[in-house]
Amino acid sequence: RNMANFTTVSGFLLMGFSAKPELEVLWASLFLVLYLVALTGNTLIIAATSMDDSLYSPMYFFLKQLSFLDICYISVMVPRSICNSFRHTSSISLWECILQCLAFILCASAELAMLTVMSYDRYVAICLPLRYEIIMNVNTCIHGILAIWISGVVSGVMHTSATFSIHFCGANVIHQFFCEVPQLLKLACSDEYVRELGVTGFLSLVAFLCFLSIGFSYTRIFSTVLRIPSAEGRAKAFATCLPHLAVVTLFLSTGAFEFLKPHSDSPTALDFLLTLFYTVLPPTLNPMIYSLRNKAMKAALQRVVKRRKAYLFC
């Protein structure tokens, strides 16, 4: 594809979940269930951490921010995709695609930064318990949240501006259920996408540094936990840490593989599966992993539900 064939793009066609209408509706129904589960779980966490005085600590403050971010993250692409599937439409305008791409990169980058900050919070709590309140004070928490959102905005603007500065050739068909950067780069004329690779490389380096930071935090955490004399104490700590590490690894590895693998012109089921892993599953699983295994959070959620029932029957 050379520059002579490029066209002025006014919109794209999203291929959706499946080419078969009956499978399209089935996939859309599954995504609707996952979306409602994610929305309910994260909303309950926000309500519990906001209303319960016993959860006023840095860990639950970051957990509330993560839940809000997860709602934003999954809401960027899933509701629009579900509506398109049920209405049997696939078009998306250029500006809608740009905004969706910007919001998705912003939320994905902020999600990674949030997971990094949360792992540091757990490191300080377990490895430096006597200095925890000094290190993780109010200013540290607020500055951490500001840094997370600023990093998300910067990443989103860099990625989106680099992606949409290229010319697109041929059919404007995106073989995905939302405007995903790797799929957009497949439409680039000739080797124009090379200019976007610099941004991808830089952000990949930042993501790798975040992963190293998370790995360092959990190496120190596990080293400290293994010295706990109580078997019950060790089991409780591992039960909290291992699922978090599993979600981080799943989110980073699938996202990195999808963004860094060689681009091909023929879509595969693996492309769709990898996208599902790093877009839909983390916001759905996070409430269960971070909170529903936590006794304090379970008790707070029960109190919130009881208050809601009492309010409804008054």
| Cβ–Cβ < 8 Å for 113, 210 | yes
5-19: b (≥16 Cβ within 10 Å) or e: ebeeeeebebbbbbe
Token pair 């690779």 in the structure block, residue: 197
Which of residues 41 and 88 earns the better pLDDT score?
A: 41
Q: Could you give the CA distance from residue 96 to residue 25 in angstroms, rounded to a whole number?
A: 23
Assess whether pLDDT exceeds 80 at residue 273. no
* 80-122 pLDDT tens trace: 888 888 887 888 888 899 999 999 999 999 999 999 999 999 8
Strands 173-174 and 11-14: parallel
**What pLDDT does residue 201 have?**
82
Beta-carbon neighbour count of residue 158 at 10 Å?
18
> Does residue 314 sit within a domain?
no
Q: What mean pLDDT is reported for the chain?
A: 81
Assess whether pLDDT exceeds 60 at residue 173. yes
Q: Distance from CA of residue 38 to its chain's centroid?
A: 12
**What pLDDT does residue 50 have?**
86
Find the length of the chain: 314
Segment 158-178 shows an average pLDDT of 83
Assess whether pLDDT exceeds 70 at residue 5. no
CA angle 37, 81, 288 (to 5 degrees): 20
Reference 16, options 87, 94, 74, 71; nearest CA is 87
> Does residue 4 sit within a domain?
no
**What pLDDT does residue 9 have?**
64
Reference 176, options 110, 263, 86, 273; nearest CA is 273
| Cβ–Cβ < 8 Å for 210, 216 | no
Q: Could you give the CA distance from residue 61 to residue 203 in angstroms, rounded to a whole number?
A: 27
pLDDT level of residue 187 (50, 70, 90 thresholds): confident
Strands 173-174 and 91-93: unpaired
Look up the CATH number of the domain holding residue 162. 1.20.1070.10
Percent of the chain with pLDDT over 90: 25
Which of residues 15 and 263 earns the better pLDDT score?
A: 15
Which of residues 99 and 176 earns the better pLDDT score?
A: 99
Q: How many structural domains compose the chain?
A: 1
CA dihedral (26, 31, 34, 39) positive or negative: negative
| Helical ranges in the chain per DSSP H | 21-51, 58-75, 78-87, 94-127, 132-135, 138-163, 181-185, 194-225, 231-260, 269-279, 281-287, 295-313
**What pLDDT does residue 148 have?**
95
Assess whether pLDDT exceeds 50 at residue 6. no
**What pLDDT does residue 251 have?**
76
Residue 106: C-alpha distances to residues 126, 176, 193 (Å) = 30, 19, 20
Q: Which amino acid is at 27?
A: W
> Does residue 115 sit within a domain?
yes
Environment class of 258 (CB within 10 Å of its CB; exposed 0-12, middle 13-18, buried 19+): buried
Q: Which domain holds residue 255?
A: 11-308
Segment 231-257 shows an average pLDDT of 74
Percent of the chain with pLDDT over 70: 83
Residue 22: C-alpha distances to residues 28, 31, 83, 270, 280 (Å) = 10, 14, 15, 21, 21
Assess whether pLDDT exceeds 80 at residue 299. no
- Sheet with 91-93, side-by-side order of all strands: 91-93, 11-14, 173-174
Assess whether pLDDT exceeds 80 at residue 43. yes
**What pLDDT does residue 267 have?**
61
Token pair of 124, please?
A: 């300080």
This prediction's pTM: 0.86
Segment 266-295 shows an average pLDDT of 75
> Does residue 96 sit within a domain?
yes
> Does residue 3 sit within a domain?
no
> Does residue 123 sit within a domain?
yes
> Does residue 89 sit within a domain?
yes
pLDDT level of residue 2 (50, 70, 90 thresholds): very low
**What pLDDT does residue 33 have?**
93
Token pair of 237, please?
A: 């700590």
> Does residue 313 sit within a domain?
no
Which of residues 92 and 144 earns the better pLDDT score?
A: 144
Assess whether pLDDT exceeds 60 at residue 313. no
